[in-house]
Amino acid sequence: MSITLPALTPVEASLFLTLCCRALDNRSQHPVLGDEIADEIVRALEYDHERLHTNTDLVLNVALRAKKIDEVAARFIARHPDAVGLDLGAGLDTRSARIAPPSTVDWYDVDLPQVVAARERVVPHRARAHTIGADVTDPDWLAALPTDRPAVVTADGLVGFLAEDDVKALVDRLVDHFPSGELVFNGYTRFTIWVARHARGTRSVADQVRFPGMDDPREPERWNPALELVEEMLISRQAEIAQFPRALRTYYRLQAHSTWWSRKGTLILHYRF
Ligand SMILES: C[S@@+](CC[C@H](N)C(=O)[O-])C[C@H]1O[C@@H](n2cnc3c(N)ncnc32)[C@H](O)[C@@H]1O
């Protein structure tokens, strides 16, 4: 049965790009992520992904970055069964279903109120998974969360839509709120921000991009001294590149020889605090 959602603003509607990429990855012969729920949601919404002009490279990058972020969150939860998990700018993503945390973990999907209302209509409910309808740049939304448990905070596709000062203030609030934790998000260099503004595959979100880009993964350590870089993951160096079609595999294997060049592609930044 088709579900019709209320019209979303352009920033909110950016969720369809990543959702459709994960659905298309699931429909491919050798999925990288294999997110069946994303596929089911796209089918239930009868969303026409053709209008987004995605391509295989973008689909694989979105699927692989989601997988890497999932892995960081899953490892943290395995070490901290009392953790809270947060997915900031969650859209219609079902990270907690993919990670399947134990019942001792509370998971919070945070997005703008209209998106959270849409989530509640289309995303299957899970025990101990909560939603928060808020602008993450608003200083008050964190007040609803526990202050005495370690937190793993994920943000997949969010940072590009925030001004740099808003990202810094958000990091400060997260670090102040939780006793300890980890933060993992897909990073943007100045070049990848330029690409997001100009490439055909991201045309649907180009006008919404506000982050200027960050070329040094250690820069957040200077924003807040409690943050420590754990790892910069360059997509070109991930084992899953072996599953990519031959032309892309060859390209990324060449790229993997150069950190400078690899930073022109997808990267995941992982910090502890
Ligand atoms: C590209 S989508 C990514 C969605 C999801 N993480 C995924 O991977 O499918 C970006 C998301 O960030 C949300 N977003 C943008 N600015 C936000 C803000 N200031 N506060 C909360 N959510 C925001 C949008 O509503 C959208 O759902």
Q: What is the mean pLDDT of the chain?
A: 95
Query: Ligand 1 mean position to 49 CA, how many Å?
Result: 18
Nearest CA to ligand 1 atom 2: 15
Residue 17 domain-assigned?
Answer: yes
Q: Does 12 sit in the ligand 1 pocket, CB within 6 Å?
A: yes
Instruction: Determine the average pLDDT of the residues in 26-54.
Output: 93
Residue 3 domain-assigned?
Answer: no
Residue 78 domain-assigned?
Answer: yes
Residue 203 domain-assigned?
Answer: yes
Residue 5 domain-assigned?
Answer: no
Query: Ligand 1 mean position to 137 CA, how many Å?
Result: 12
Query: Ligand 1 mean position to 20 CA, how many Å?
Result: 14
| CATH number assigned to the domain comprising residue 17 | 3.40.50.150
Nearest CA to ligand 1 atom 4: 91
161-179 pLDDT tens trace: 999 999 999 999 999 999 9
pLDDT of residue 51: 85
Q: How far apart are CA 181 and CA 152, in angstroms?
A: 5
Answer yes or no: are the C-beta atoms of 114 and 12 closer than 8 Å. Answer: yes
pLDDT-based confidence at 206, cuts 50/70/90?
confident
pLDDT-based confidence at 187, cuts 50/70/90?
very high
Query: Ligand 1 mean position to 87 CA, how many Å?
Result: 10
Instruction: Determine the average pLDDT of the residues in 138-154.
Output: 97
Q: Does 86 sit in the ligand 1 pocket, CB within 6 Å?
A: no
Q: How far apart are CA 69 and CA 83, in angstroms?
A: 16
Residue 50 domain-assigned?
Answer: yes
With a pLDDT cut of 70, the percent of the chain lying above it is: 100
Residue 1 domain-assigned?
Answer: no
113-125 pLDDT tens trace: 999 999 999 999 9
Q: Does 158 sit in the ligand 1 pocket, CB within 6 Å?
A: yes
- For the chain, how are helix, strand and coil distributed in percent, rounded to 5? 50, 15, 35
pLDDT-based confidence at 1, cuts 50/70/90?
low
Query: Ligand 1 mean position to 253 CA, how many Å?
Result: 31
pLDDT of residue 5: 85
Q: Does 59 sit in the ligand 1 pocket, CB within 6 Å?
A: no
pLDDT-based confidence at 131, cuts 50/70/90?
very high
Which pTM does this prediction carry?
0.96
Answer yes or no: are the C-beta atoms of 168 and 137 closer than 8 Å. Answer: no
Within 13 A of 23's CA, how many CA atoms are on the CB side? Answer: 23
Q: Does 89 sit in the ligand 1 pocket, CB within 6 Å?
A: yes
Q: Does 61 sit in the ligand 1 pocket, CB within 6 Å?
A: no
Q: Does 161 sit in the ligand 1 pocket, CB within 6 Å?
A: yes
pLDDT of residue 238: 98
Instruction: Report the domain count for the chain.
Output: 1
Query: Ligand 1 mean position to 272 CA, how many Å?
Result: 22
Residue 201 has pLDDT above 90, yes or no: no
Residue 205 domain-assigned?
Answer: yes
Residue 202 has pLDDT above 80, yes or no: no
- Residue 37's domain comprises 10-272
